[in-house]
Amino acid sequence: MITYALGGSSTEIFDPAVGAGAFFRAAKTVISIQQREIKLLGMELDPESRQQALDTGLSVGDLREVEFRDFLLNPPTRVFDAIVANPPYIRHHRLSQETKSYLKHFGTKLIGKSLDGRAGYHVYFFLRALQVLSKQGRLAFIMPADVCEGVFANTLWRWVLDNYRLDAVITFAPEATPFPGVDTNAIVFMLRNDKPRTTFTWAKCLSPNDAKLSAWVDSNFQNSGIGIHANSRTIKEALETGLSRPPSNGVPHGAVLGDFAFAVRGIATGANEFFFLTQARARELCIPTEWLISAVGRTRDVPGEWITPDTIGDLKASGRPTLLLSLDGTPQATLPEPLRQYVKHGEELGLDKRSLISSRNPWYKMEVRTTPPFLFAYLGRRNARFIRNLAGVVPLTGFLCLYPRRTELDFIEKLWNVLRDPETISNLALVGKSYGAGAIKVEPRALERLPLPESVLRRWGLDWNPTPEQLNLIGA
């Protein structure tokens, strides 16, 4: 990142979130190799990080130009030729209402459109940095993949790529991650404040090798060689596919899963420890069986592609919960005695005051799902997968429920074959959000956008009846 940012003729480098100073240390190394004089400039919110920076080898002199102030609220009044940062990664639900509305206002003013409220702090940090990048200046930021995969991503990148030149996007295979053990898919973005171009370099690092990566950046992204897979991509295709994802032939406009099925998240109990019971616990509490339904909680509880009565039997035998207390709106007073007692116990534990639960009336009333023929394990370490539900269970929030739009058995079986097809599974990367160690998360609406390749539909004999809008898109 330093190699890129200093690739121009800058005589200084600015880090708006200095922290313990990893970039300053890297800059010193690069400067000494290149025998250049570079001024280290920075900002940092937390004064305590100064000591960490000193402890990790920087000198008082190196930190002389670091200002301890808020880069977002109180930005510099000048511009910089080289900016580099690992911005604070704070997701939207951890921001105060006040901060959120400040950021929204700032973003709207800058890009002329408001970004969806799910954009995190780092997104605005990035925008603020672009704002203080001088003409021809270079910026390198490392950020989580959500900046390319969140609902706000398209608005954000359309503006960025209309106004700046994207030189490179560098992604990392799980084995090469710059942050081992952190549940984030980190991506490096290298941009210039210059006229946008129609293409850029997109790379994937396959092994952790700083020197090789640095030399490649230094060669102006030319000699990638072993360990770095690089492609030239058009901005247009990358915007459609998503900058975090490998190149595709654009998003296919053919059939999507939503044409054949719809997805709903699994049941959120609000207190699994109370509502999701083992067989022994349900027996101990004398809960009448008509209030209990068979359920699965953790994705780990379903190791394969099928849930059969045997799967549930194994879970019971190993003492895992499999029974969901599924109460309806029956008033407490008319519930059978053991249930009345248990509900009272829940109130003693203060469950009725919990945020999700307190919105229900009565508080113990459980969400209802029809048994889905398919489940989808939506957050997995490289194994997001579809599951055939042959045990009549309902899932909790570790899974999505997938309901075919038609009920004939023949249709369901054909759809099952399509869902299991490796080509279908590989398309999950086109709609999912990526996390550390290759994990991918797919939410209900995104799952419905999953492209189903025509060849796969043909292979399994599933007929597709495009809507007039789809016919238009495929030019039929």
Which residues here bind ligand SAM, judged by CB under 6 A? 16-17, 19-23, 43-46, 49, 70-72, 86, 88
Q: Which is nearer to ligand SAM, 23 or 106 (CB)?
A: 23
Rg of the chain's alpha carbons, rounded to an integer?
26
Burial annotation 135-148 (CB, 10 A radius, 16+ → b, else e): eebbbbbbbbbbbb
Considering the complex, what minimum distance in angstroms separates the CB of residue 219 from ligand SAM?
25
Distances (CA, A) of 445 to 155, 173, 442: 19, 27, 8
Q: Which is nearer to ligand SAM, 151 or 182 (CB)?
A: 182
Considering the complex, what minimum distance in angstroms separates the CB of residue 423 from ligand SAM?
38
Name 187's bridge partners.
143
| d(C-alpha 3, C-alpha 5), whole Å | 6
Considering the complex, what minimum distance in angstroms separates the CB of residue 63 from ligand SAM?
12
Q: Which is nearer to ligand SAM, 40 or 377 (CB)?
A: 40
Find out whether 18 and 41 touch, Cβ atoms under 8 Å: no
Q: Report the first-to-last Cα separation within the chain, whole angstroms.
A: 46
Tokens 């020197």 correspond to what residue?
211
Considering the complex, what minimum distance in angstroms separates the CB of residue 78 from ligand SAM?
16
Q: Which is nearer to ligand SAM, 16 or 432 (CB)?
A: 16
Considering the complex, what minimum distance in angstroms separates the CB of residue 48 from ligand SAM?
9
Considering the complex, what minimum distance in angstroms separates the CB of residue 45 from ligand SAM?
4
| d(C-alpha 412, C-alpha 374), whole Å | 9
Q: Which is nearer to ligand SAM, 24 or 374 (CB)?
A: 24
Considering the complex, what minimum distance in angstroms separates the CB of residue 70 from ligand SAM?
4
The phi-psi region of residue 356 (left if phi > 0; otherwise alpha if psi is between -120 and 50; otherwise beta) is: alpha
Considering the complex, what minimum distance in angstroms separates the CB of residue 403 from ligand SAM?
42
Q: 202: burial class by Cβ within 10 Å (0-12, 13-18, 19+)?
A: buried
Considering the complex, what minimum distance in angstroms separates the CB of residue 183 from ligand SAM?
15
Q: Which is nearer to ligand SAM, 3 or 86 (CB)?
A: 86
Long-range contacts of 108-115 (CB under 8 A, 24+ apart): 111/155, 111/156, 111/159, 112/159, 113/155, 113/159, 115/152, 115/155, 115/156
Considering the complex, what minimum distance in angstroms separates the CB of residue 387 from ligand SAM?
37
Q: Which is nearer to ligand SAM, 15 or 301 (CB)?
A: 15
Residue nearest to ligand SAM (CB): 19
Closest to 298 measured CA to CA, from 280, 317, 313, 276: 276
Cα 91 to chain centroid, rounded: 11
328 Cβ neighbours under 8 A, 6+ residues apart: 365, 366
Q: Which is nearer to ligand SAM, 172 or 378 (CB)?
A: 172
Q: Which is nearer to ligand SAM, 19 or 346 (CB)?
A: 19
327 Cβ neighbours under 8 A, 6+ residues apart: 291, 335, 339, 343, 364, 365, 366
Residues present in the chain in total = 476
Query: Is beta strand 228-234 parallel, antiparallel or unpaired with respect to 292-296?
Result: unpaired
Cα 335 to chain centroid, rounded: 43
Q: Which is nearer to ligand SAM, 140 or 396 (CB)?
A: 140
Considering the complex, what minimum distance in angstroms separates the CB of residue 18 from ligand SAM?
6
Tokens for 188, please give them.
């490096």
Find out whether 296 and 248 touch, Cβ atoms under 8 Å: no
Q: Which is nearer to ligand SAM, 17 or 446 (CB)?
A: 17
For helices 153-163 and 97-111, angle between their N-to-C axes, nearest 10 degrees: 40
